[in-house]
Structure 1
Amino acid sequence: MKIPLFPLQSIFFPGETVPLHIFEDRYKQLINDCREEGITFGIPVFINNKMEYGVEVQLVEVVNTYDTGEMDVVCVARQVFRLLTFERTVPGKLYAGGIVKLVEYDYEATIEKKQTIINGIQQLYAIMEVPFKKLNVHEFNSFTLAHKIGLSFEQEYQLLQIPKENDRLNFISIHLTSTITVLSEVERTKKIIELNGHFKNFDPLDFKNIEV
């Protein structure tokens, strides 16, 4: 299907709220078209000087409109797409557009699998001394805290491209295990360093049975 495009060097996941400040004329026109015609638009991810994947978004609300015509808007991310063609300007419009193919995603995973991931996130937050808000395992999916588990931009982009929930959870699990291992070692090293310069009690050795 052909949709308007708003390329950004940002990643949004399905179901995520997308707040945007609109200040360029081309995107003011796009938002006005969304309001008047009820159309959706796509946010392809600009990464490594190319665009392949992105997410279709729907305008939810125009929160503020300024005298300059600038706007604060709230959108919601819907489906992931693969970008097939790109036009710098849609005929008769200021904004870009292109043909995209929506990617079918599933969100099926066992409660046990999801709970394991939640436990891993909770452990990560505990090590980092970050408050953890309890999650409802039945409402949780791989995208729920994807921005808040320390994934790099490239890793988030990888996650966006994985269509099956079990595979996405496995991807997150590997990341959590690796990150927790590194942070735990950092904490251990930190404690060792903090001991330097302190007086320490050493247990006296019993030399009776020692051979040289």
Structure 2
Amino acid sequence: MTNFIPIFPLELTVFPSEKLNLHIFEPRYKQLIEECAEHKKPFGIPCVQNGKVAELGTLVEIIEISNRYENGELDIKTRGIKIFKLLEVIQALPNKLYGGAIVHYPDNDTYPRQDLIRKLTVEVSTLHRLLDVTKEINSEGTALLSYDFAHHLGMSVEQEYEFIQLMREDQRLEFLRRHLHKIIPILKEMEELKSKIKLNGHFRNIEGFRFN
């Protein structure tokens, strides 16, 4: 299925079902948001990688315009809908300040894998404990998916873009688990190092070596 959508390229990755708050200040994107809100239409956020608009992005819907400022700037709340692939970017549209694109929506497996999700949840809890952070992962009453975890794992922009290229839920979950298996041992070593540093200068009760 192909479609034409207005686009708002950003240097970030938006995941389906993710909520994203944005402050809109550029005239072209103020126009885009006002028109999409008025007509209740979604728009696309293609990922910008290394100064270029990448092939994939996410269709998002406007939940609300939270604030309108006197200078025309806006605070908006959005939610990711689905992944798209850019087929053609149209930079100049008649009577518009913003651009658009013809896009294709690839088939994307989002069937819940609860057995894998349970394992991932345990590992994510370990990560957050080591980082001493509290994060609530919420799917708003629906079954948890890999996308619900992705922004809570400290991935780089490049890793997040690699992640949204995966169109099978089991592949995405395995990608996240591999990421956690790399960083959790490093964080555990850091915890041990911190403990050793804290002990420096303290009176320590250590039994001496016995030769006999």
TM-score (norm 1): 0.88
Aligned-residue offset at 1:32: 2.3
TM-score (norm 2): 0.88
Provide the rounded CA distance (Å) in 2 between the counterparts of 1:180 and 1:70. 41
Conserved 8 A contact 1:4-1:90: no
Question: CA-atom RMSD, angstroms?
Answer: 2.1
Provide the rounded CA distance (Å) in 2 between the counterparts of 1:82 and 1:153. 18
Aligned-residue offset at 1:181: 0.4
**Number of the residue aligned with 2:143:** 139
Provide the rounded CA distance (Å) in 2 between the counterparts of 1:49 and 1:113. 36
Number of residues of Structure 1 aligned to a counterpart in Structure 2: 208
**Number of the residue aligned with 2:173:** 169
Provide the rounded CA distance (Å) in 1 between the counterparts of 2:65 and 2:208. 73
Aligned-residue offset at 1:109: 4.0
Aligned-residue offset at 1:205: 3.7
Give identity over the alignment, percent.
38
**Number of the residue aligned with 2:192:** 188
Conserved 8 A contact 1:117-1:173: yes
Aligned-residue offset at 1:67: 2.2
Conserved 8 A contact 1:87-1:96: yes
**Number of the residue aligned with 1:45:** 47
**Number of the residue aligned with 1:155:** 159
In the alignment, structure 1 segments of 5+ residues that lack a partner are: none
In the alignment, structure 2 segments of 5+ residues that lack a partner are: none
Provide the rounded CA distance (Å) in 1 between the counterparts of 2:78 and 2:59. 10
- Counterparts of 1:48-127 in structure 2, within 5 Å, are 48-51=50-53, 52-127=55-130
Conserved 8 A contact 1:118-1:135: no
1:46-82 Cα distance to aligned partner (Å, 9 max, x none): 1112221111112222222222222222222111111
Aligned-residue offset at 1:197: 3.4
